[in-house]
Structure 1
């Protein structure tokens, strides 16, 4: 349970965001049956009571993970989710992919790191005026390469190693990311609409992943939990530093005596 949440999560707010609306009944995944309350006008309705309890458990997990110093990667390339993914990840010192998942982004991380190094090299060359010595066609080519790298990798620039937890918005659109996480044993957190597969997620929230209001509501709570955990981690690190300084000071005094 997320203990440090100042906001009280209310079922009525979840309903207002449209979190309970699933896909057409013909599009459902039978594995989602336990999380479906019923159907209305040909669409499945998700059981928000279950979602409520699962969300609270998940927030506790996110807070605990952040308190342990674990790193998060947010993934969501849907049009309605992309800007929210970027904003949330930046706000809680995390990484993100919100344009396109490149094959091997995690399983071939060394190659991605090389691309990130190339992006840094392009920036340095452009800023130093090195490109000014090139022909116009060559400059245009390098700028296109730089823009492409920025578009696809901007959210990974500060990521030095593989993330500990990957938060996925839109499972059906991000199956390549899901598969790579499973292959590497990276913990996943996934929003599950009625057409999704809970068997492919470690932690999940049954929710309407097509609703911008729902995605915003959930990401806001994820952000609060992660920031709370980071605060705990920082406090623990400060306390550890104080203890180490005291020990160091004691050793110096004992040597003098």
Structure 2
């Protein structure tokens, strides 16, 4: 059950603050407890409940060796998404989600392999045998690919789940996961339909402090469970 301390934290970082009432999705109404100056306020117990359910789902996936693809390309979510992904060695997208990442997975794998091979050759000094012009071309190509593929080097297979911050901004990732029947965990704000994903985390998805708090709690939940499993 959510306690006063957690409610205070949620309010302080803005987790319970949604969008204006005029933007509220009808399916979100059961989770809204009040309205202040036209801003919808989420029920803290609803936030906590959805957080727990999403955490339980991810714990099970992780404990069974599941692979989760993290997606959060907006500036407010990039840092937290990367930290979450790196904590569990998950692939992540924090710049631009490339169409076909999942639905054209074989092609994506070929591009990732080419990127990794070229990166390894550079690190080993194997590109030194080429002309300066060719080396410059390789350098430009690597820089361009790095922004696209660096976070995806751990995407060795189709993921068992997606974690998305702000589904409205990541429609392509959402549609690809749906097409492949990959379950989705997502931070869902008052302007979104929570029924769009299997495990919605009700909360403010546009403020950095809110996103940081939610993802921080998810990491705590998962790591606490992993410690319990290890101790058994």
Give the TM-score normalised by structure 2.
Answer: 0.90
1:150 equivalent to 2:154? Answer no
Q: 1:112 to 1:230 in 2, by over 3 A?
A: farther
| Greater CA drift, 214-223 or 29-38 | 29-38
Aligned partner of 2:97 among 97, 101, 117: 101
Which residue is 1:53 aligned to? 49
Q: Report deviation, 1:31.
A: 2.2
What does 1:1-257 align with in structure 2 at a 5 Å threshold?
10-231=6-227
| Greater CA drift, 13-22 or 41-50 | 41-50
Looking at structure 2, the residues matched to 31 and 116 of structure 1 have their Cα atoms a distance apart, in angstroms, of 39
Q: Report deviation, 1:233.
A: 6.3
Q: 1:137 to 1:12 in 2, by over 3 A?
A: same
| Greater CA drift, 173-182 or 152-161 | 152-161
> Unaligned 5+ residue runs, structure 2?
none
Looking at structure 2, the residues matched to 93 and 162 of structure 1 have their Cα atoms a distance apart, in angstroms, of 15
* Greater Rg over alpha carbons, structure: 1
Q: 1:235 to 1:107 in 2, by over 3 A?
A: farther
Q: Deviations over 1:183-206 (max 9, x none)?
A: 111110011111112121000111
CA RMSD of aligned residues (A): 2.2
Looking at structure 2, the residues matched to 207 and 127 of structure 1 have their Cα atoms a distance apart, in angstroms, of 43
Give the TM-score normalised by structure 1.
Answer: 0.82
The secondary structure found in structure 2 opposite 1:10 is: helix
Looking at structure 1, the residues matched to 112 and 33 of structure 2 have their Cα atoms a distance apart, in angstroms, of 46
Contact 1:92 1:223 in 2 (8 A): no
Contact 1:63 1:228 in 2 (8 A): no
Q: 1:198 to 1:115 in 2, by over 3 A?
A: same
> Unaligned 5+ residue runs, structure 1?
2-7, 237-257
Contact 2:27 2:194 in 1 (8 A): yes
The secondary structure found in structure 2 opposite 1:227 is: helix
